[in-house]
């Protein structure tokens, strides 16, 4: 079944915060942040919300795809930081782009695996033949839920959006995909939801900001990525040697470099944009894909593996030829 990456685009809010800027907020320094994560700076949305970033990325992706919004049959937005619970970011994007009114538009929350979960969903929709062009966006304004008094988390994340237009026409193919979840009794990566506002309902006080057990998540990420790559090899007979690019969720450069080394691959095969954007959760993979194209490194016939991992716990991999 065809699965063509017809267009892509990304958008970052204009305000940049360097590690030195973060050191004015919490007790940290550039050396610690860069050596532990590979991050030098990140963008925070000071005036825009999640749907604003999503709309900008979507417009660029549609132009790149040489399509109009009326050509879209579905708009999916992967986010764990929507502007509000409802209307969905997807509905806001549909309105802003003046998409048709007979389309599917909704948000999905796979946390940092959201874009890969979205690819899996889009692939299933495209393979029905009913949907021809799907806009898939990863968009986050994580700064809304960051604890700017917690140096273990606030220095890692950034805001941004990336979008792709996927079509069931053209030369591209989905080659292999798999999604996973893992029981997370300790809730090692947590973001708050809507506060309970009903006096009749008793509820435990919940933290109102992102909380993360970084060491546990680091270990989980390594095991998750290794499992996905091993099962890809077992089930397809292909190895990473057969791929042109690997795009891991941009959570930590140490994770990316460790995986490259473990599987005896060059760092160049593993796309890296974390230095200037930090961890943008569901947006990180489409932002990295767009950078690959912008740098003229994405060519027809190439094979790409994308792996997302994050809260839930969730993880998943998607391999396609473009």
Is 51 a catalytic site residue? Answer: no
Distance CA 138, CA 77 (A): 6
Cα distance from N-terminal residue to C-terminal residue, the chain: 13
* Interface with ligand UT7 (CB under 6 A), residue from 60, 136, 217, 228: 217
Decide whether 53 or 285 has the Cβ nearer to ligand UT7. Answer: 285
* Interface with ligand UT7 (CB under 6 A), residue from 21, 30, 32, 176: 32
| Residue in this structure with the two tokens 């095969």, named with its chain if needed | 269
Does 178 bind ligand UT7 (CB under 6 A)? Our answer is: no
* Interface with ligand UT7 (CB under 6 A), residue from 45, 103, 155, 289: 155
Decide whether 123 or 281 has the Cβ nearer to ligand UT7. Answer: 281
Catalytic residue among 112, 123, 168, 245: 112
Does 283 bind ligand UT7 (CB under 6 A)? Our answer is: no
Q: What is the largest CA-CA distance in the chain?
A: 59
Decide whether 69 or 156 has the Cβ nearer to ligand UT7. Answer: 156
Does 41 bind ligand UT7 (CB under 6 A)? Our answer is: no
Does 19 bind ligand UT7 (CB under 6 A)? Our answer is: no
Distance CA 230, CA 47 (A): 43
Joined together, the tokens standing for residue 190 give 């947590």
Does 30 bind ligand UT7 (CB under 6 A)? Our answer is: no
58 φ, ψ (degrees, to nearest 5): -65, -45
How many other β-carbons are positioned within 10 Å of the β-carbon of residue 321? 18
Joined together, the tokens standing for residue 178 give 């798999």
- Share of the chain residues as helix, strand and coil, in percent rounded to the nearest 5: 35, 25, 40
Distance CA 51, CA 55 (A): 6
Decide whether 32 or 176 has the Cβ nearer to ligand UT7. Answer: 32
* Interface with ligand UT7 (CB under 6 A), residue from 218, 227, 242, 258: 218
Per DSSP bridges, beta strands 74-78 and 104-108 are parallel
Is 30 a catalytic site residue? Answer: no
Distance CA 62, CA 201 (A): 45
* Interface with ligand UT7 (CB under 6 A), residue from 7, 172, 278, 310: 310
Does 277 bind ligand UT7 (CB under 6 A)? Our answer is: no
Is 249 a catalytic site residue? Answer: yes
Catalytic site positions = 112, 249, 279
- Binding positions for ligand UT7, rule: CB under 6 A: 28, 32-33, 36-37, 112, 151-152, 155-156, 214-215, 217-218, 221, 251-252, 255, 279, 281, 310
């Amino acid at each position: 079944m065809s699965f063509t990456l017809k267009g892509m685009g990304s958008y970052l809010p204009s305000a940049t915060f360097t590690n030195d800027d973060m050191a004015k907020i919490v007790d940290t320094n550039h050396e610690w942040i860069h050596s532990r994560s590979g991050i030098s700076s990140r963008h925070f949305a000071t005036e825009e919300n999640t749907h604003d970033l999503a709309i900008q990325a979507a417009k660029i992706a549609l132009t790149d795809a040489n399509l109009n919004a009326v050509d879209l049959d579905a708009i999916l937005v992967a986010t764990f930081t929507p502007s509000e619970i409802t209307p969905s970011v997807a509905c806001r994007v549909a309105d802003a782009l003046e998409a048709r009114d007979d389309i599917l538009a909704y948000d999905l929350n796979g946390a940092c695996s959201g874009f890969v979960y979205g690819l899996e969903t889009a692939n299933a929709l495209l393979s029905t033949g009913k949907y021809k062009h799907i806009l898939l966006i990863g968009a986050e304004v994580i700064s809304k839920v960051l604890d700017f008094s917690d140096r273990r988390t606030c220095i890692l994340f950034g805001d941004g959006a990336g979008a792709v237009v996927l079509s069931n026409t053209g030369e591209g193919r989905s080659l292999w995909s798999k999604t996973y979840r893992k029981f997370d009794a300790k809730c090692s990566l947590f973001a708050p939801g809507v506060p309970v506002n009903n006096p009749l309902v008793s509820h435990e006080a919940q933290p109102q900001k992102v909380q993360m057990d970084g060491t546990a998540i680091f270990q989980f990420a390594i095991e998750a990525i290794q499992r996905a790559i091993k099962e890809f090899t077992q089930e397809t007979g292909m190895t990473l040697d057969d791929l042109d690019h690997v795009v891991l969720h941009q959570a930590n450069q140490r994770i990316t470099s460790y995986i490259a080394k473990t599987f005896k691959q060059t760092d160049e095969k593993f796309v890296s944009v974390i230095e200037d954007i930090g961890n943008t959760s569901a947006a990180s993979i489409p932002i990295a894909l767009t950078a690959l194209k912008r740098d003229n490194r994405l060519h027809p016939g190439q094979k790409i593996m994308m792996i997302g991992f994050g809260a839930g716990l969730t993880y998943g991999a998607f391999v396609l030829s473009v």
